[in-house]
Structure 1
Amino acid sequence: MPPISLHLPDWFVSGGATMWVLAFMSVIALATLISKILQFARVRPGIARQADRLLDALAKGQQPGKPGKLTSPIDQVVWQCWQNSKLEEAAWQEESLRLARSSLDNLRGGLRILEVISAVAPLLGLLGTVFGMIGAFQALETAGSQVDPSILSGGIWEALLTTAAGLTVAIPTLAAFHWADRSLELCREKMQDRLSRLKVLRNNHAESEPLEEDRDPSVAHAY
């Protein structure tokens, strides 16, 4: 069986063990990005149609009907908070905050992986370059008085490969991280806005509800 290096490009083999680590990190980053794209396409974190329908109905003094399919985190949290509207004010706020945090935490999965890879990959590439330069100058020292410029230039060329590979992994990974992080930030801002509106409408709805004495006239004449 031929060595595995025969099936790989020469520049990859010249990079040494660092290239293998960077290749592994690139696979992890790509898999994480694909999973986040599929997750965001399924839950659609920036959509708030059902939440807006609920808020519009409450603003008009109407009772909202049954919600449609709640896939967006904003829709889910706002409708769950409305269903908990019978709770006391302090308990309702704590429960709303808990639901919002839990929903956003579910969307943050995998972001730390992208952040770490985008930070470690260029440093790892630079470390590989440093070791490559050390090897190149050791080879130059071993050559003694019979110095061949190609020895030094070839060693530097091979050493710089890891830096280029590290940057190649880090740049798209960092862009993917900021895309996902910005999507979560927009989701958080929209969710905060809808919950603030729901809080105001909930208080107005509670104040407009008639007292028990007003609902049953016989109670008022019992005294």
Structure 2
Amino acid sequence: MFNLVDHLPSGFASAVSGAWQFLVLGGPAIWAIGAVSVIMVALILWKIARLLAFGAWSGGRQTERAVALWDQGREAEALALLERRHSLRARLARAAMKARRDPGLSTEAAEAETARVARALLAQARGGLRGLELIATIAPLLGLLGTVLGMIAAFQALQEAGARADPATLAGGIWEALLTTAAGMAVAIPASVSLVWFEAVVDRLRHDMEDAATRIFLRSRAKGRAALAAAAE
């Protein structure tokens, strides 16, 4: 009968065999934790790709240049600079500029429209974080559940053995049960670290977007006050 493990390199075959034994010893809880770990890795990679596409680590240099042009009164140039940019900062700044230039919108309405766009963009940036939060919460619980079930099975075996009980058998059952707790913690720790990191990145994006929108509307308000003062004279 063909055995795939026999045809693998010795080091890799040993690792595969050890991983399989680990899954068998841990029981259903380990299988559940293994599935959760695969989902976690896929979610982290997907989130990194999404944040890269959103320009989370680009620094927002083009958006900063566009806002500077807007401050100088070069509104058309500022909008042209942002027209083909797809980062969240650029999209928010472009929305704020277009809303402010729309003659059909008052200042309050333009600010409300910009806030609506900002909420939608931040919701995109935060996508997937609830999944990581859930994994960080349930992975240790799955491990604890596996440990409790394993301890119950170990003590049932001890009870059935009666006076002939072997302490070594009990010890073996206990360490096998504790495997699930270790596995759950091994999944929860990177999930928690990734969650905190992604939240920090999103908070930075939110700060930059708020700063850009505030500068755009402050300049517009100053322009409006200057026009009123000139008219009064």
What range is the shorter-chain TM-score in? Answer: 0.7 to 0.9
Is structure 2 residue 91 aligned with structure 1 residue 76? yes
Aligned partner of 1:67 among 81, 96, 105: 81
- Structure 1: give runs of 5+ residues left out of the alignment: 214-223
Is structure 2 residue 155 aligned with structure 1 residue 137? yes
**Cα distance in 2 between the residues matched to 1:183 and 1:63:** 29
Q: Which amino acid aligns with 1:62?
A: R
The CA deviation at 1:52 is 1.4
The CA deviation at 1:2 is 9.2
- Structure 2: give runs of 5+ residues left out of the alignment: 4-15
Secondary structure (helix, strand or coil) at the match of 1:51 reads helix
**Compared CA separation, residues 29 and 79, structure 1 to 2 (3 A):** same
- Give the aligned partner of residue 218 of structure 1: none
**Root-mean-square deviation over aligned CA pairs:** 2.3
**Compared CA separation, residues 2 and 134, structure 1 to 2 (3 A):** farther
Aligned partner of 1:146 among 128, 144, 164: 164
Which structure shows the bigger proportion of residues in helix conformation? Answer: 2
- Give the aligned partner of residue 9 of structure 1: 20
- Give the aligned partner of residue 203 of structure 1: 221
Aligned partner of 1:106 among 124, 128, 152: 124
Does structure 1 conserve the Cα–Cα contact (< 8 Å) formed by 2:144 and 2:181? yes
- Give the aligned partner of residue 44 of structure 1: 55
Is structure 2 residue 69 aligned with structure 1 residue 57? yes
Aligned length: 211
Aligned partner of 1:166 among 184, 202, 211: 184
Does structure 2 conserve the Cα–Cα contact (< 8 Å) formed by 1:49 and 1:75? no
Alignment TM-score, normalising by the size of structure 2: 0.83
Does structure 1 conserve the Cα–Cα contact (< 8 Å) formed by 2:30 and 2:183? yes
**Cα distance in 2 between the residues matched to 1:134 and 1:116:** 27
Structure showing greater Rg? 1
**Cα distance in 2 between the residues matched to 1:209 and 1:96:** 23
Identity of aligned residues (%): 36
